[in-house]
Amino acid sequence: MYPIILFQISNFKFQISNFKFQISNFKFQISSFKFQISNFKF
């Protein structure tokens, strides 16, 4: 039973890191989109 708990903890940490990665990727897409808009204005 104990390895199952360890597996759930590692899986949970993986989901957290994956979620942080998606947030940073989303911020990158927003900044890229703003950059394209500012390019389009010129």
Tell me the pLDDT of the chain (42 aa) as tens digits.
688 999 999 999 999 999 999 999 999 999 999 999 999 886
Reduced to 3 states, what is the DSSP secondary structure of residue 21?
Answer: helix
Residue 32 has what DSSP assignment?
Answer: H
Domain tally for the chain? 1
Amino acid found at 24: S
pLDDT of residue 31: 96
What's the rounded Cα separation, in Å, for the pair 40 and 42? 5
pLDDT of residue 1: 66
pLDDT of residue 16: 98
What's the rounded Cα separation, in Å, for the pair 3 and 20? 26
Query: What is the residue range of 28's domain?
Result: 1-42
pTM score of the predicted model: 0.63
pLDDT of residue 42: 67
